[in-house]
Amino acid sequence: MPDIHDPRRRSVLAGAAALGASWLLSGCTGASAAPVQPGGETHEAPDSGGTLRIARPPASDAETLDPASALSAYEYLGALYNRLVRVGADGSLAADLAESWEPDAKARTWTFRLRKGVTFHDGRAFTSADAAYTLRHILDKATASPQAAVLAPLLDPGALRTPDAHTLVVPLKTPNAEFPSLLTHYNCYVIPDGGARAAGRTGIGTGPFKLESFTPAGPGRVVAFADHWAGRPVLDAISFYSVADMSARSNALLAGQVDLLSQTNLDFATARVVAASDRATVTRVKDAQWYVLPMLTTEKPFTDVRVRQAMKLAYDPEHVVKVALQGAGTAGWDNPVPPSDPAHISAHPAHDPEQARHLLKRAGHEGLAVELYTSAYDPLFTPMALAYQDSARRAGIRVKVRTAAADSYYTQIWMKKPLMATYWFTGRPVDQLFTQIFRGGSSYNETAWSDAAFDALLDRARAETDDTRRRDLYGEAQTIVMDRGGAMTPMFADRLVGISRAVRGYAEHGFEFDYLGIGLKGA
């Protein structure tokens, strides 16, 4: 998420997790490595100029630079565009093209005060008309934007108002105190008024870089935009190379042919090699990926909530983290809200194989046997599945792990088989997470779970203007998901990112790294 967005367009990753990864706990840096921290940040200042070379997995030969699209060329977006609101380094909302925002007393109408003196790459001034047009483009059914499912229940595109060039007024269909957080999604980058038809090719935005070239599923290049409102970026340019195979991407890094592996979570064995090399190292992004074992609630035996509860009680998430991640992550305890999120609650049911046996007996499924699908699509799928199989055995659950083809995993297995492995990137605000992945009827609801009380609770939380009370309501929502939902969340995994030892200023949060501040030493 999913994704990175949509798993149907993520790359195929190869490799298997290896044992003996205690080296991860030191932040994956060698003695001569650049000062990379476990949080995914390098502190030494970069030199001005230079070209950063990024190896990226190709999404599709239909990929586009239109940020609203389900097939957006994700790595380019943060370079070319800005949002109205972004996620700050501390996880809170931060100003981007909107300097401030405020609701009315009922959180029914939001007013955004927009930044002045901002220009697009073609010289046009950014105004409220561009902001309104961007939202309408996302909501347009012809766009088929993944974010439309989240925003459409809230927004009437005809109700948006632009009283002046730097004010956007957004009346909502229903109150939502979390609305600005929904605009941090990667589909919400701002494009020029009337520019949707050309956006996929031109990439005209207000970001720190402007487009020089772009080939779908191929190479491309962006160059520094000197008139960027926040100042010129450190780099002169970024070159993108599409490399489908993870091993080939890693080898290019080790050979000094590229500087950064984007959208690539290195398997442990590869990460060890990279971290020990002279040219490259590994930085670790804490709890960056959320791993799930979705149970399809429309398929037996998972139509029975007692079976779902038993599946969760039967296994020990701490065991899964130890075996599958070698400690490089955090136990999920079936709560999809990351531990770093202010709304996260730590309370959860304890691992209880005997209670799991009892529930299965009551449900008529004593000695339950299930098939769990996995693949080499991601290097952690199979270790996670095997760790679950081993742990659930204590509750009398027999799990047969089946390995499916990686290249058809998200077309033939995901949301089709009753039990399988998947993952999402963390970074979604809590309302977006619940609405997009757990609300009844959502196209990304991978368990097909529908719970009217849960949906009503989300509506109450959105409408609550008291921050403490709203956080409590989202806590109740987490409890319902853990107790009745179809998603098992064994773990949050740290993402291992391969970078050149020359890279400086790498800081990742909110789905992307800092394009403005990243640079190279000795550029």
Give residue limits of the domains in the chain: 37-57+208-279+501-523, 80-199, 287-494
Q: DSSP states of 102-115 as a string?
A: EE-TTSSEEEEEEP
Is pLDDT of 374 > 50? yes
Q: Which 3 state secondary structure label does DSSP give 455?
A: helix
198: burial class by Cβ within 10 Å (0-12, 13-18, 19+)?
Answer: middle
Who has greater pLDDT, 307 or 508?
A: 307
Strand partners, 260: 54, 499
pLDDT score, position 472:
97
Mean of all residue pLDDT scores within the chain: 89
Domain 80-199 sits in CATH 3.90.76.10: yes
Phi, psi of 322, deg, nearest 5: -65, -45
Tokens describing residue 380: 């952690």
Strands (E), 311-468: 329-331, 369-375, 398-404, 422-425
pLDDT score, position 510:
61
DSSP state of 409: I
Question: CA-CA-CA-CA torsion for 318, 320, 321, 324, nearest 10 degrees?
Answer: 160
The pTM assigned to this predicted structure is: 0.83
Strand partners, 211: 222
How many CB atoms within 10 Å of residue 299?
A: 15
Length of the chain (residues): 523
Question: CA-CA-CA-CA torsion for 188, 194, 198, 202, nearest 10 degrees?
Answer: -70
Q: How confident is the model at residue 27 (pLDDT cuts 50, 70, 90)?
A: very low
Which amino acid belongs to residue 10?
A: R
pLDDT score, position 429:
87
26: burial class by Cβ within 10 Å (0-12, 13-18, 19+)?
Answer: exposed
> How far apart (Å, rounded) are the C-alpha atoms in residues 316 and 333?
8
CA nearest to 414, candidates 7, 119, 3, 104: 7
Tokens describing residue 507: 């800081």
pLDDT score, position 297:
98
Q: Are strands 398-404 and 369-375 parallel, antiparallel or unpaired?
A: parallel
With a pLDDT cut of 70, the percent of the chain lying above it is 91
Q: Encode pLDDT of 458-495 as tens digits.
A: 999 999 999 999 999 999 999 999 999 999 999 999 98
Q: How confident is the model at residue 55 (pLDDT cuts 50, 70, 90)?
A: very high
Who has greater pLDDT, 462 or 263?
A: 462
> How far apart (Å, rounded) are the C-alpha atoms in residues 293 and 311?
10
Same fold, 80-199 and 287-494: no
Tokens describing residue 340: 């770093």
pLDDT score, position 426:
86
Average the pLDDT over 59-88 and give the result: 91
**% helix / strand / coil in the chain, to the nearest 5?**
30, 25, 45
Who has greater pLDDT, 379 or 32?
A: 379
Tokens describing residue 289: 């990926």
Domain 287-494 sits in CATH 3.40.920.10: no
Strand partners, 167: 113, 164
Q: Encode pLDDT of 178-234 as tens digits.
A: 999 999 999 999 999 999 999 999 999 999 999 999 999 899 999 999 999 999 999
With a pLDDT cut of 90, the percent of the chain lying above it is 73
Is pLDDT of 20 > 70? no
Q: How confident is the model at residue 42 (pLDDT cuts 50, 70, 90)?
A: low
Average the pLDDT over 44-55 and give the result: 94
DSSP state of 172: B
Q: Encode pLDDT of 289-312 as tens digits.
A: 899 999 999 999 999 999 999 999
pLDDT score, position 17:
31
Is pLDDT of 285 > 70? yes
Is pLDDT of 24 > 70? no
pLDDT score, position 284:
87
On the CB side of 54, CA atoms within 13 Å amount to 27
pLDDT score, position 43:
62
Domain 37-57+208-279+501-523 sits in CATH 3.40.640.10: no
pLDDT score, position 39:
39
In sequence order, what are the residues at sequence separation of 6 or more whose Cβ sits closer than 8 angstroms to the Cβ of residue 146? 3, 5, 6, 70, 187, 436, 443, 444
Cβ(324)–Cβ(478) below 8 Å: no
Is pLDDT of 19 > 50? no
Is pLDDT of 358 > 90? yes
pLDDT score, position 35:
37
Average the pLDDT over 161-173 and give the result: 98
CA nearest to 52, candidates 207, 284, 224: 224
Which of 33-47, 245-259, 327-341, 445-459 has the weakest average pLDDT?
33-47
Average the pLDDT over 243-247 and give the result: 82
> How far apart (Å, rounded) are the C-alpha atoms in residues 520 and 289?
27
In sequence order, what are the residues at sequence separation of 6 or more whose Cβ sits closer than 8 angstroms to the Cβ of residue 33? 275, 281, 501
Q: Which 3 state secondary structure label does DSSP give 37?
A: strand
Is pLDDT of 343 > 80? yes
Is pLDDT of 134 > 50? yes
